[in-house]
């Protein structure tokens, strides 16, 4: 593989203008395509085989408009000064309803003066609009038209807010400021690392082209598959971080070779063959981890996984083609526009410091190992208190309509109005359907935690009926899940009860994900270890790398627990408590639930990203060991040669992730905190102390490979490992007292 990547890099460097033009055209064409044809969004939250899914399927059968996916929109009205029942308010409501009924796909616009449509204070009302034939991906556009139709109400001072029944994870994420901040900070780090503006701009430019292509592909894929609204933000966060990092690794290698006097084209070839191979394997681990989410049994999580993987693949592709092309075009001008005296061509200030740290760790591995494990255990300890649960609109940013509608509904109709449940009853025996349905309705109304239960609505076949239920608790309140369990426990002869709605669906998703988590974790760890085994042909190194990544994940979950589950940092990340969560503690802190699918998604992303730094550190140690044959010295030199590059790459990725914490969506904040903390811990405690200490203690066992396994494994070495293995073997044979040099060399070649 190294030879193939070397030839590819050399060709790209020779034909730099063609490669650059092709990437720019691809990014531009895909961007224009999304502008012309749009970016269809569809949150497929179907969970096959679950009780909630069965309820939702039955809802679509014969209950009329408003019960299919995207079939209803709620418009909340708030009259702050006088009741909505006043004559001028009634007249404005009538004119608004008339205008709404003229809008395409609207079949019913229910007046707020119906039963259950007006709050007890008479100042908050609810217009329910039922649709037919509406594209569920265009509900936002329809909501905007409905709000525009409410102009008569707005003109007389009535607040009109569209309610959103989705979770914050479902909302379309519009980014901009976060990416700009992350890119600017990354540019600053690169300037300090290289000292020249031209070198610093190469990774930035490459990452932006890569991200443009990835987002264009993701946007157009929405015409073929269901693309969730949160896919673009995940692709942006991960794609931007790895895109800059991968280009940084190649650029650092190239500058070192140039400093050693290697000609430009030859330097690019060697860089692509060595660091390019490391990038391919590192990106492969990220893609494997994300693709394994397909086993989670939750369509939204599965789609997020493989779509985010597209951004990683694009980052790898630009790194092994566009970066060599730019390096070939720039030639020796890669060091032009120096803005800082630092940033030596060989690595810059700080390299000696990392080398000293490597020797310090190598001199006392047991002490370093014990101390590091204690610190990491302390960081991971809070994770036992991690609390999972639905994240509702009450935690959305105060400036959004979703948050405002949530607060108005809670104030007027109670916290459960934001998370209504649907009890769907199957009635297989038509002769006993009516008595059975009455008993079900009575049991539902008497269920603990139910604030309101509507009258049963029977479908056209008479074989099923639904009851709309409003719990006494907010969707994010754990007690709402207890209500779902109690309703599902209702057993009436001649009837089969199913419970749907957002809270029920998320509860089923959580159960599904928890049951599949061991499988996903096992597959990710096994396949990643196998990939490392192919890369380094060292079983213990592969196994140890997988375990180290799991340790860094513990620290990330510990941080999430402290910040969100315990609420000690929820204020610091810019979150405000919903009305039902306000108490005497909220001025300082308040707990925030974490969606059940977030930990598994974080696991996949972090496991892959952590493996990036492991690959680059191990390749350096492996090369040093090939030169010296001394494991302790190789570990120290490997850490010294990669410490500055890895720390710069980690700092860039942390900056990108931290910038997204400022984004108002709470889901983005959770991912930003978790990813940033994990990368910090991984690049410092794990790669700086724990990995070197364990490698020193293992000694030559690091590179032990059983002879039988050696014959089975394909040769996919990276960073010139083929040559490295030959050097080590020759050194070992040369130490033997048997035979001449030629005989010993021939003996090696005959292996």
In the DSSP assignment, the letter for residue 345 is: T
* Each residue's pLDDT tens digit, 106-135: 888 999 999 888 999 999 999 999 888 776
Structure tokens at 309: 């993987």
Residue range 397-437, pLDDT digits in tens: 777 888 899 999 999 999 999 888 999 999 887 667 888 88
Looking at residue 750, what is its pLDDT? 40
Tell me what the mean pLDDT of segment 90-114 comes to.
Answer: 92
Residue 135 φ/ψ, nearest 5 degrees: -70, 120
CB atoms closer than 10 angstroms to residue 542: 20
Q: Where in the chain is the domain with CATH 1.20.1640.10?
A: 1-43+170-349
Q: Is 17 in a helix, a strand, or coil?
A: helix
Structure token pair of residue 517: 């988590």
- Give the pLDDT confidence of 50-63 residue by residue, as tens digits: 888 888 888 888 88
What sign does the dihedral 618-623-624-629 (CA atoms) show?
A: positive
Span 70-165 CATH architecture: 2-Layer Sandwich (3.30)
Q: What is the mean pLDDT of residues 573-596?
A: 74
Both tokens of residue 713? 């494994």
Q: Which residue has the higher pLDDT, 349 or 34?
A: 34
**Per-residue pLDDT tens for 514-534?**
888 889 888 888 888 888 888
- What's the pLDDT score for residue 705? 84
pLDDT of residue 213: 95
Residue 232 and residue 239: Cα distance in Å, rounded?
A: 10
**Residue 347: pLDDT band by 50, 70, 90 thresholds?**
very low
pLDDT at residue 511 is higher than 90: no
Report percent pLDDT > 90 for the chain: 27
> Residues of CATH 3.30.70.600 domain(s) within the chain?
395-507
Question: CB neighbours of 298 closer than 8 A, spacing ≥ 6?
Answer: 47, 509, 512, 513, 597
Q: Is the pLDDT confidence value at 737 over 70?
A: no
| pLDDT given for residue 316 in this prediction | 94
pLDDT, tens digit (0-9, with 9 covering 90-100), for 673-698? 888 888 888 888 888 898 889 988 98
Smallest CA-to-CA distance from 293 within 310, 279, 307, 306 is with 306
Mean pLDDT of the chain: 83
Structure tokens at 497: 């009860």
Output the pLDDT for position 42: 64
Tell me the pLDDT band of 341, cut-offs 50, 70 and 90.
Answer: low
The pLDDT of residue 741 is above 60: no
Only one residue has tokens 């369509």, namely 299
Output the pLDDT for position 734.
45
- Region 345-349 average pLDDT: 43
Q: pLDDT tens digits, residue range 173-184? A: 445 676 788 788
Cα distance between residue 182 and residue 189, in whole Å = 11
For residue 93, pLDDT over 90 is answered with yes
The pLDDT assigned to 348 comes to 42
* pLDDT confidence of residue 745: 39
145-177 pLDDT per residue, tens: 999 999 999 999 999 999 864 443 344 444 567
**748 pLDDT band (50/70/90 cuts)?**
very low
384-399 pLDDT per residue, tens: 888 888 778 888 777 7
Percent share of the chain, pLDDT over 70: 88
CA 347, CA 192: separation in Å to the nearest integer?
A: 11
Instruction: Write the CA distances from 425 to 367, 430, 465, integer angstroms.
Output: 64, 13, 5
Is the predicted pLDDT of residue 5 greater than 50, yes or no? yes
Please report the pLDDT score of residue 577 as a whole number.
76
Per-residue pLDDT at 339: 75
- Please give the class, per CATH, of domain 1-43+170-349: mainly alpha
- For 174-188, what is the HEC assignment? CCCHHHHHHHHHHHH
Render pLDDT for 187-235 as a digit per residue (tens, 0 to 9). 888 888 788 889 889 999 999 999 999 999 988 888 787 777 777 888 8
Cα–Cα nearest to 297, from 504, 597, 604, 667: 597
DSSP structure string for 38-107: ----------TTSHHHHHHHHHTSSS-TTSSTT-EEEEEEE-SSS-TTSHHHHHHHHHHHHHHHTSTTEE
pLDDT at position 409: 92
**Residue 498, beta-bridge partner list:** 424
Level-2 CATH architecture, domain 395-507: 2-Layer Sandwich (3.30)
The pLDDT assigned to 166 comes to 46
- Give the integer Cα–Cα distance in Å for 38 and 29: 13
Q: Which pLDDT belongs to residue 460? A: 85
Helix (H, G, I), strand (E, B) or coil at 77: strand
pLDDT at 715: 67
Note the pLDDT tens digit of each residue in 609-640.
877 788 888 888 888 888 888 888 888 888 88
CA-wise closest residue to 278 among 248, 303, 255: 248
pLDDT surpasses 50 at 722: no
Tokens 């290697």 correspond to what residue?
A: 262
Better pLDDT: 95 or 234:
95
Helix (H, G, I), strand (E, B) or coil at 383: helix
346 has a pLDDT exceeding 50? no
pLDDT recorded at residue 369 = 92
Token pair, residue 332, equals 């020796």
Spell out where 502-590 has E strands. none
């Amino acid at each position: 593989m190294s030879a193939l990547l070397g030839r590819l890099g050399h060709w790209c460097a020779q034909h730099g203008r063609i490669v650059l033009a092709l990437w720019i055209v691809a990014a531009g064409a895909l961007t224009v395509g999304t502008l012309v044809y749009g970016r269809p969004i569809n949150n497929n939250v179907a969970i096959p085989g679950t009780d909630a899914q069965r309820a939702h399927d039955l809802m679509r059968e014969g209950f009329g408009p408003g019960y299919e996916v995207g079939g209803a929109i709620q418009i909340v009205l708030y009259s702050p000064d006088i009741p909505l029942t006043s004559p001028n308010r009634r007249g404005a409501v009538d004119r608004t309803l008339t205008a709404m009924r003229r809008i395409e796909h609207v079949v019913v616009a229910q007046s707020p003066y119906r039963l259950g449509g007006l709050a007890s204070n008479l100042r908050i009302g609810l217009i329910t609009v039922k649709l037919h034939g509406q594209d569920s991906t265009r509900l936002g556009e329809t909501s905007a038209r409905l709000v525009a139709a409410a102009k008569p109400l707005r003109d007389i001072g009535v607040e009109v807010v569209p309610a959103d029944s989705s979770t914050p994870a479902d909302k379309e994420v519009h980014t901009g400021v976060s990416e700009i901040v992350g890119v600017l900070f990354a540019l600053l780090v690169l300037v300090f690392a290289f000292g020249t503006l031209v070198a610093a701009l190469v990774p930035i430019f490459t990452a932006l082209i890569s991200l443009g292509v990835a987002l264009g592909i993701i946007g157009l894929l929405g015409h073929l598959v269901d693309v969730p609204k949160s896919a673009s933000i995940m692709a942006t966060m991960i794609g931007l971080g790895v895109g800059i990092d991968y280009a940084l690794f190649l650029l650092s290698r190239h500058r070192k070779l140039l400093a050693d006097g290697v000609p430009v084209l030859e330097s690019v070839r060697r860089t692509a063959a060595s660091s390019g191979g490391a990038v391919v394997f590192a990106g492969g681990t990220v893609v494997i981890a994300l693709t394994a989410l397909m086993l989670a049994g939750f369509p939204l999580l599965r789609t997020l996984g493989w779509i985010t993987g597209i951004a990683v693949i694009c980052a790898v592709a630009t790194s092994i083609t566009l970066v060599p092309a730019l390096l070939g075009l720039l030639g020796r001008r890669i060091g032009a526009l120096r803005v800082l005296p630092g940033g030596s061509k060989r690595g810059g200030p700080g390299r000696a410091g990392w080398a000293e740290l490597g020797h310090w760790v190598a001199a006392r591995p047991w002490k370093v190992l014990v101390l590091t494990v204690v610190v990491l255990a302390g960081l991971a300890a809070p994770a036992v208190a991690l609390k999972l649960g639905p994240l509702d609109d009450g935690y959305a940013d105060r400036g959004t309509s979703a948050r405002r509608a949530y607060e108005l509904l809670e104030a007027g109709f109670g916290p459960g109005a934001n998370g209504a449940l649907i009890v769907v009853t199957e009635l297989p025996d038509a002769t006993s359907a009516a008595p059975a349905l009455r008993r079900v309705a009575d049991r539902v109304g008497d269920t603990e935690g139910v604030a309101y239960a509507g009258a049963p609505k029977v479908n056209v076949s008479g074989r099923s009926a639904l009851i709309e239920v409003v719990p006494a608790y907010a969707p994010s309140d754990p007690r709402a899940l207890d209500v779902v369990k109690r309703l599902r426990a209702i057993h009436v002869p001649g009837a089969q009860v199913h419970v749907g709605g957002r809270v029920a669906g998320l509860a089923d998703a959580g159960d599904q994900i928890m049951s599949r988590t061991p499988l996903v974790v096992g597959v990710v760890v096994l396949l990643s270890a196998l990939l490392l085994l192919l890369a380094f042909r060292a079983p213990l190194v592969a196994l140890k790398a997988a375990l180290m990544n799991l340790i860094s994940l513990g620290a990330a979950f510990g941080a999430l627990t402290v910040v969100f589950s315990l609420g000690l940092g929820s204020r610091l990340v810019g979150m405000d408590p919903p009305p039902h969560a306000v108490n005497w503690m909220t001025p300082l802190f308040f707990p925030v639930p974490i969606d059940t699918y977030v930990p598994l998604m974080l696991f996949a992303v972090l496991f892959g990203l952590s493996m990036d730094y492991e690959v680059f550190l191990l390749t350096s140690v492996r090369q040093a060991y090939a030169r010296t044959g001394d494991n302790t010295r190789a570990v120290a030199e490997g850490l010294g040669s990669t410490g500055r590059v890895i720390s710069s790459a980690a700092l860039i990725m942390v900056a990108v992730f931290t910038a997204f914490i400022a984004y108002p969506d709470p889901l983005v904040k959770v991912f930003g905190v978790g990813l940033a903390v994990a990368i910090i811990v991984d690049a410092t405690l794990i790669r700086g102390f724990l990995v070197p200490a364990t490698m020193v203690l293992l000694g030559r066992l690091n590179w032990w490979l059983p002879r039988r396994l050696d014959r089975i494994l394909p040769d996919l070495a990276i960073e010139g490992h083929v040559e490295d293995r030959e050097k080590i073997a020759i050194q070992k044979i040369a130490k033997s007292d048997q035979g001449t040099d030629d005989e010993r060399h021939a003996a090696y070649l005959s292996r």
